Chain A
């Protein structure tokens, strides 16, 4: 079985300009939603109140959820806690309401729905922890960007480093844009997914860059655009298959992983899909605009001088 039967190099770069324009628009839209709607940060980042209530009979979680939703809390986890009569919920901080007011309003609403409810306790997650987590997240992001750029610059050349990192930031911003647009909860796990995507997506760009370097060495007659097209064409089959495999895993998480892993898997899905696109059309295209040349690479990497066309291959089957 072979999925890809490509006769000659696909001229990916022919439409680079149009696709880059599309990328730019998507990117700007993501930035726009990020600023206009903002991220729906989880309790971990914002601080918030956790409530535990007890019923005399096993609690009807659905009706509790309904009450919670009516009060304007979206995506609030409502779960049994310890026994089936106890219900736990986490309320995010609402502007202009103290944690005490929040729990009072919630209790009143729950009492109206079922008078046999009693408040067990309210808990608090300090907002200072959240601020730190956010700061640490940004630090990690900066570290990853700097680290990857440095690596690409040493291993290839600065032009590759710049285009690789732009492509990946493009992915990250689009993931965040999705989370802002749909107001999905942005938790610590999602942050981890976003950073993992950053590493994973660069991986994709690296594979293409590797091929570009190799093609520059082998095919001395090709011009840079042809080299890029050839490199992408010869890796596209691998690209689709590996991303497909990773996506199978992520899909499996989406299906079996439950609520906790849901948004994590969602972030990865968007990251993987845009990762393919951005490596081909953003990273390679920007590298093309930056004017990569054969001389840039052949100079820097002196190893593997041997002719890749191995003379051993006498017998062709």
Chain B
């Protein structure tokens, strides 16, 4: 009897400890979620701060007060000041945020579906295809009757980038879709398109070559109201689908078979993720040229801070990309006042130290 009561006591004690453990795990989980939500809020706040800094910085002597006044009541400032604020600083700063967010989100999805930390939107030839599309538009001077010529280069770049992903998808379908095949095919596409661009350069006249070189140097200074809005719309349409797929992507990171056992159609997941990546990357490249570093490192910075849970990793990547790009935009204006440095150079100068800092000093949230 005693023994029995002892057993009962023991088992109830066990249950109590199990419940206690469960509570502890839950509490730890909640703490982690709180930290992650907090980190997202912090990143968001940093993005806003970087954007404000970007808007306030420039080679002219506008004071922060004048910038705010110009933003609030455009008619209250001089013609030149209004142009600087509304036609130069605002579109450039918005474009920096949007391009950074788009490329970094695309990179995070790419790294998830290919299960490859070296993947970025440009690994599978998206950017090479875009360059080839732009090169053809520039060299052949093709145009459509209803479209201004300046949009043709962007449109063609976009078409080729999207086409390259479709081609990749098609080839991957013909053979059984494995990640390795896909990466290999993508790398083959990179080389094919690079060779084609080189050939176009070789065959084109001096004038077209010059234009091509200028086009391929990534620059935020092509930003204007129209293309900023287009990229904003693309990002707003694509990002919700990315976030909706976050849970499945997390499962995919546990392994393809594991993901299948959860009832996830991996092929379909991969296809739509690729589609989103190509939309984001192609639109960005079409408007600002090649800015390579963000798509690779933005997601890694987010991962080092927040770990693998894609429900947090994807929005965090979006924010880290926007943050780094926005800071880079500010620095590119400040380094040599009056001169536009190619922003791609600056993204590396800004991004690498942040990246190294995180690798050597991991904040508590990293799992």
A and B, one complex?
no
